[in-house]
Amino acid sequence: MDILSHALGALSPMNLGLALLGVAAGIVIGALPGLSATMAVAVLVPVTFGMSPESALIMLGAIYTGAIYGGSYSAILVNTPGTPSAIATTFDGFPMAKRGDGDLAVTLSTLASVVGGLVGVLALLTLAPLLAQVALSFGPVEYFWLAIFGLTLISALSEGSTLKGFMGAGFGLLLSTVGVAVVGGDIRYTFGSQVLLGGIETVSALIGLYCIPVLIDLVATPESHLKVSEEPRGIRLREGLKHAWIGKLNLLRSATIGTGVAILPGAGGSIASLVSYSEARRAAKDSSSFGKGNPQGVLATEAANNATVGGGFIPTLVLGIPGTPPDAVILGALLVQGFRTGPELFTTNASITYTFVAGLFIATCLLLPLGLLIGRYAFKFIITIPKALLVPTIAFMTVIGTYAIRNSVSDVIIMLTLGVVGWLLNRYGFKPSPIVLGLILGPIAEQGFVQGFLMGRASGSYATMFFGGPISLTIIALSILSVFYPVIKARRAQRRHNNGTDDPRQEASS
Amino acid sequence: MSKALPKLQASCSARSEFLLPLLFIGIGGVCLWQSQDMSQLGAIFPVTIAIVVIVAGLLRLVQLLVRGVSSNTERDTGSTPKRVLLVVVMTAWALVMPWAGFLLAGLASFVSLMMVAQYQSWTTRRLIGHLVTGAVLVAFFYGLFALLLNVPLPVGRWWT
């Protein structure tokens, strides 16, 4: 009853207005390549200092929810994930848009984000203290294996050859080591250049590797980059709901995975969406259609990445350990407002905490009308804008977005260089996702690996350190399974084919 | 009873399918070579990853040799000069921006990229329409980043 009365505090006109504004601002910022959810929250934190603690937290939560969802727009419409957690959305979202189903993909992404967000919020409300304990059982070695699991998943999921995926992921990991070492402080692979001392900025690399190849191919041909339907079809909500109903298990499973992964600090939405995408593909009857515009792929990734919003707040609020980078910014705002994280947030400060959780719930619900409305216009804008305007507009966003991260022209040059390298590699069958994920997960993997190495040296057994824990062994087993599952599946299909059922010959496992 | 595996399909030419793993092996080799100057803690991770990259590259070469590879004859084509022009304009934009300032460099690059991406013939109406839209977009992004988000965009060393 107390929870209900606290939650009703979020329903004041002021708080509702702030949630609406926050979601809309978050969607727009998240949709622009280069402006991540972290940046959206960080930039708008000072705006909330003059507000009451409840209103401030509701607005920040709404911005975060909107930004994570907004990242799917650019992933679907221009093959550039607005935020790293939308990487896997490009796999099926962009092929859908290319064949003229971009409007449906945006609607699916909205529906999935709402379901995922609600599951995350529900977990935050009911299971927070219990789930937070799970996060504490992960040590550096477990984080190392988790990062490797993410990379094996993306290598195996990449269209074409798994070995190319591994080479790409390795290249991304090597790029992440450029600059000053996370442990030890060595200066590595800078070749004497001052510019490379600060390392390769992840978001610049993400923009370069995804956006520049799209631009290079856009100017090369006169045809429109997305197929345009001849008759207006609106937001295709009924069709979207039908797909969501068919994929209801996929939605719930992905949202649960998203919540589960988000409670592990640092793992974030990119791993969550990849794991759920992999699970959706594994469980599907027509797994070969994934990566070619399967609506279930969009549902899986978007449900997972929005579930990370609520899930990420679990360790943030209960343990004071931010689950994701935007959580770290919100944690800072919490401290400024005079909070102390920990169990007392659910007792002494219960009124504010439950109002905040209710605010997140409302913000997630607001995603539905706002997302469908903004999505419709975003899609119309992208398909009706002539190429002579679309190319400079996207180019403008890439340059200003990259520059804004560290106010550095060098980052723009690095972004362009990586873009050209990414285009060349893409042409030869190396997809950008493993490279980008390698770059994102590199520091987590290295820190875990080096700390594990030091602990192994101190304890006298590297093997026990890296292969001794049950969590590590489980993640290793999952990683091995993710690599060999396509081979096993292809073999089984081959056997069926030999028995005269269907054609299994595919290069998925090569 | 096992049948012979089908040939692998190259993404581009069959020769490039062999060259790319060699390139990655080379990158791995350079990283290993460079790691000689690092401390043990600094080197252990990149060395491990470089070895993984080299092994993956070698395995790919073995796979290509064992199964054989056929060229992709249906690969996308398009205007290479336009592609090169796009990269040149964007690079020039980034290099000129600190000197000419964000607004001037942005406007000039916007117009140049518009020309590069245009395939239809220019009419006066189309040209004016595109230029006005371009100016509005540049102003919008300038307002969003410089005024709202307080990003210190370069004013231009030539003007200060």
Are the Cβ atoms of B45 and A420 closer than 8 angstroms?
no
Whether chain A has a CB inside 8 Å of the CB on B101: the answer is no
Whether chain A has a CB inside 8 Å of the CB on B42: the answer is yes
Q: In sequence order, what are the residues at sequence separation of 6 or more whose Cβ sits closer than 8 angstroms to the Cβ of residue A23?
A: A62, A63, A65, A66, A363, A366, A367, A370
Q: What SS3 string covers A164-196? A: HHHHHHHHHHHHHCCEECCCCCCEECCCCCCHH
Q: How far is CA A179 from CA A118, A194, A199, B54, in A?
A: 40, 9, 4, 22
Helices (H), A349-431: 350-384, 387-406, 409-427
Whether A477 has a pLDDT exceeding 70, the answer reads yes
Of the pLDDT bands very low, low, confident and very high (cuts 50, 70, 90), residue A151 is confident
The pLDDT value given to residue A26: 87
When comparing pLDDT for A269 and A432, which is higher? A432
In tens, the pLDDT along A120-135 reads 999 988 887 777 677 6
Phi, psi of B40, rounded to the nearest 5 degrees: -60, -40
Task: Point out the residue among B76, B115, B141 whose CB comes nearest to the CB of A400.
Answer: B141
Predicted TM-score of the model (pTM): 0.80
Gap between the Cα atoms of A108 and A116, Å rounded: 12
Please count the other Cβ atoms lying within 10 Å of the Cβ belonging to residue B91: 15
Range from A49-58, A223-232, A240-249, A440-449 carrying the lowest mean pLDDT: A223-232
Q: What is the mean pLDDT of residues A397-419?
A: 89
Q: Which residues in chain B are closer than 8 Å to A507, comparing Cβ atoms?
A: 8-9
Does residue A23 lie in a domain region? yes
Does residue A153 lie in a domain region? yes
Q: In sequence order, what are the residues at sequence separation of 6 or more whose Cβ sits closer than 8 angstroms to the Cβ of residue A411?
A: A201, A204, A402, A403, A405
Rounded to 10 degrees, the C-alpha dihedral A104/A108/A109/A111 comes to: 140
Does residue A509 lie in a domain region? no
Residue with tokens 């996702």: A433
Are the Cβ atoms of A395 and B109 closer than 8 angstroms?
yes
Q: If 0-12 CB within 10 Å is exposed, 13-18 middle and 19+ buried, where does residue B109 land?
A: buried
Count CA within 13 A, CB hemisphere, residue A491: 7
Does residue A212 lie in a domain region? yes
Gap between the Cα atoms of A61 and A68, Å rounded: 11
Q: Which residues in chain A are closer than 8 Å to B109, comparing Cβ atoms?
A: 392, 395-396, 399
The pLDDT value given to residue A352: 77
Domains: count for chain A: 1
Does residue A503 lie in a domain region? no
Whether A504 has a pLDDT exceeding 50, the answer reads no
Q: Which residues in chain B are closer than 8 Å to A396, comparing Cβ atoms?
A: 106, 109-110, 137-138, 141
Q: Which residues in chain B are closer than 8 Å to A388, comparing Cβ atoms?
A: 114-115, 117-118, 130
Token digits of residue A224: 């429109």
Does residue A294 lie in a domain region? yes
Does residue A76 lie in a domain region? yes
Gap between the Cα atoms of A246 and B113, Å rounded: 44
% of chain A exceeding 90 in pLDDT: 24
Phi, psi of A163, rounded to the nearest 5 degrees: -65, -35
Of the candidates B58, B49, B42, the residue with the CA atom closest to the CA atom of residue B28:
B49
Task: Point out the residue among B41, B115, B130 whose CB comes nearest to the CB of A183.
Answer: B41
Q: How far is CA A251 from the centre of its chain?
A: 16
Q: Which amino acid is at A64?
A: Y
Residue-by-residue DSSP string for A279-325:
HHHHH-TTGGGTTS--HHHHHHHHHHHHHHHHHHHHHHHHHS--SSH
Nearest CA in chain B to A506: B6
Reported ipTM: 0.92
Are the Cβ atoms of B20 and A428 closer than 8 angstroms?
yes
Phi, psi of B70, rounded to the nearest 5 degrees: -115, 145
Give the domain range for residue A323.
2-498
Are the Cβ atoms of A170 and B53 closer than 8 angstroms?
yes
Cβ within 8 Å of A, B 125-154: 130, 133-134, 137-138, 141, 145, 149, 151-154
Are the Cβ atoms of B95 and A171 closer than 8 angstroms?
no
When comparing pLDDT for A83 and A176, which is higher? A176
When comparing pLDDT for A503 and A264, which is higher? A264
In tens, the pLDDT along A97-123 reads 888 888 899 999 999 999 999 999 999
Does residue A505 lie in a domain region? no
Q: Which residues in chain B are closer than 8 Å to A407, comparing Cβ atoms?
A: 151-152
Domain coordinates of chain B in residue numbers?
8-70, 80-159
Q: Which amino acid is at A383?
A: I
Can you tell me whether residue A51 is helix, strand or coil? coil
Per residue of chain B (160 residues), what is the pLDDT tens digit? Answer: 455 667 787 877 888 889 999 999 999 999 999 999 899 999 999 999 999 999 999 999 999 999 888 887 776 678 889 999 999 999 999 999 999 998 899 999 999 999 999 888 888 888 898 889 888 888 888 887 888 777 888 888 888 7
Gap between the Cα atoms of B114 and B95, Å rounded: 19
Gap between the Cα atoms of B153 and B157, Å rounded: 12
In tens, the pLDDT along A4-60 reads 777 777 778 888 898 999 999 888 888 876 667 777 787 777 777 778 877 888 888
Please count the other Cβ atoms lying within 10 Å of the Cβ belonging to residue A171: 25
Residue-by-residue DSSP string for chain B:
--PPPPPEEPSS-HHHHHHHHHHHHHHHHHHHHHGGGS-HHHHHHHHHHHHHHHHHHHHHHHHHHHH-EE--TT-----HHHHHHHHHHHHHHHHHHHHH-HHHHHHHHHHHHHHHH--SPP-HHHHHHHHHHHHHHHHHHHIIIIIIS-------GGG-
Are the Cβ atoms of A395 and B43 closer than 8 angstroms?
no
Q: Which amino acid is at B104?
A: L
Residue with tokens 């292809």: A490
Are the Cβ atoms of A449 and B34 closer than 8 angstroms?
no
The pLDDT value given to residue A508: 39
Q: Residues of A27-36 as b/e, b for ≥16 C-beta within 10 angstroms?
A: bbbbbbbbbb
Q: In sequence order, what are the residues at sequence separation of 6 or more whose Cβ sits closer than 8 angstroms to the Cβ of residue B99?
A: B156, B157, B158
Range from A290-304, A433-447, B140-154 carrying the lowest mean pLDDT: B140-154
Whether A138 has a pLDDT exceeding 60, the answer reads yes
Of the pLDDT bands very low, low, confident and very high (cuts 50, 70, 90), residue A343 is low
Give A260's DSSP letter: H
Average pLDDT over chain A, rounded to an integer: 83
The pLDDT value given to residue A55: 84
Q: If 0-12 CB within 10 Å is exposed, 13-18 middle and 19+ buried, where does residue A187 land?
A: middle
